[in-house]
Structure 1
């Protein structure tokens, strides 16, 4: 235990109630312990105002436009030079974990839909894009259809893991730079402004509401593995498994 941390951070560092892998928990704690988080209230306040202004303009009866490539290049550039290494690793890990979860759902409900978003570096995110990440989630649910199919009827039938890719933290490479100081939450606030500006209003609305499917994912997986308690915690926790 790092006693130089606050009492709260010491408490959550010893809490093992949720099955979160130690690598992810350590990254999370380092991100929370980022000394530059002192900037977060000011930056988040600024970004919140900017976001509401952009969102108001986007909802006016004006021609809609999007710039997916520009969006992805801008976010990746920002991650490379300003987002902390810990936050970048959490982002890369998030991609892989959600891809694994959606593939597990598809495999164990008899569908062929597979997600192949497993970036290892920030540059890889230029191809495994944030837009694709959201669309894959929606496409998976569209193809999965009725949730009653997400049931493991035969306890003797083994689970299917063919598309599951183990997450090796040594393979996730982030080149450290002196300018990488921003924590995940602050960076996320800026990302939302970029999403709002460079996506059509419907695309942005879908992207920010995608988390509403988290509970549905937990319910479907809980039915497959026969674990009802899984529905009590959201996919934001599952992303760290």
Structure 2
């Protein structure tokens, strides 16, 4: 993105301190944090980099991925052979909250809770500047891990799909909507500051798992407690990043930043075994898009 960086309005000073620079041995993580080619909220970026340096990512991610995919294959085969489908959203979310509170680092938990908020802001921005501003908006704004217990992951997916269906129906009903939106100017009121009540300095001794390792394990829980159709729908939702990028670009008239979107081509769905990696990328792309809208605001 060729965007001038601005001071963050949605977060305090980032909890990341670069090392003293050695020109003969530059620190890769410092370079990644300080580089502003693609602007990201500084606090979120600091937590991302701390997460990438986690020892569990270096030593446990590959075996965790192997074990998780074996369990995922067994679950998907079993559920396709059964003559009926079962689900339990409440238990799934409570297991997820317990897992996050006990085994996943606060930095990763922060990024997960923050992601739900960012998704709501982006959808509400598209509604405010879309073909029908009366489409139902998202009110999903959790502040803690415990807030996720209220079926938040499921609701996050349902909001996305219902928005896509409502938005495209409204486009057909109002074919000249884009010209009207551009004539009246864009409304950025929905790009609001994010408040997360998670303190990374407070953690249990067992909270060691990095974000991607945690997602690999959680996809097993997710696949078990959802029907096959619901799990496939959740996996496919990750490839709607390209669609949302196009929605925003159509409104702003700026397509120059779309190259940062890597989750693409929903008409050629990815394997569910790649879901954890794609979910990690989905989170990063959402951060890019939200920061882009913050800067434009």
TM-score by length of 1: 0.90
Distance 2:176 2:41 in 1: 29
Q: Does 1:2 find its partner at 2:2? A: no
Question: 1:68-217 maps to which residues of 2 (within 5 A)?
Answer: 68-109=89-130, 110-112=132-134, 113-127=136-150, 129-145=152-168, 151=178, 153=180, 155-169=182-196, 171-172=197-198, 175-217=202-244
Counterpart of 1:218 in structure 2 is 245
Unmatched 5+ stretches in structure 1: none
Aligned CA distance change for structure 1 residues 28 and 90 (closer, same or farther; 3 Å) = same
The CA deviation at 1:177 is: 1.2
Which is worse superposed, 35-44 or 118-127? 35-44
Aligned CA distance change for structure 1 residues 104 and 83 (closer, same or farther; 3 Å) = same
3-state DSSP of counterpart to 2:141 = coil
- Contact kept, 8 Å, 2:182 with 2:251, in 1: the verdict is no
Distance 1:7 1:173 in 2: 26
What is the CA deviation profile of residues 74-109 of structure 1, one whole-angstrom value per residue up to 9, with x for unaligned ones?
001100100111100000110010100001011111
The CA deviation at 1:10 is: 3.5
3-state DSSP of counterpart to 1:106 = helix
- Contact kept, 8 Å, 1:121 with 1:173, in 2: the verdict is no
Which is worse superposed, 151-160 or 212-221? 151-160
The CA deviation at 1:156 is: 4.8
What is the CA deviation profile of residues 30-66 of structure 1, one whole-angstrom value per residue up to 9, with x for unaligned ones?
0001122211111111111111111111122421000
Aligned CA distance change for structure 1 residues 103 and 173 (closer, same or farther; 3 Å) = farther
Distance 1:150 1:61 in 2: 47
What is the CA deviation profile of residues 186-239 of structure 1, one whole-angstrom value per residue up to 9, with x for unaligned ones?
110111111110001100000011011111001010111111113322264442
Unmatched 5+ stretches in structure 2: 1-17, 262-281, 292-297
Question: 1:23-42 maps to which residues of 2 (within 5 A)?
Answer: 23-37=43-57, 38-42=59-63
Distance 2:242 2:140 in 1: 21
Counterpart of 1:54 in structure 2 is 75
Aligned length: 240
Which is worse superposed, 96-105 or 57-66? 57-66
3-state DSSP of counterpart to 2:178 = coil
- Contact kept, 8 Å, 1:218 with 1:233, in 2: the verdict is no
The CA deviation at 1:153 is: 4.5
Distance 2:220 2:176 in 1: 38
The CA deviation at 1:111 is: 3.0
The CA deviation at 1:123 is: 0.8
TM-score by length of 2: 0.74
3-state DSSP of counterpart to 1:151 = helix
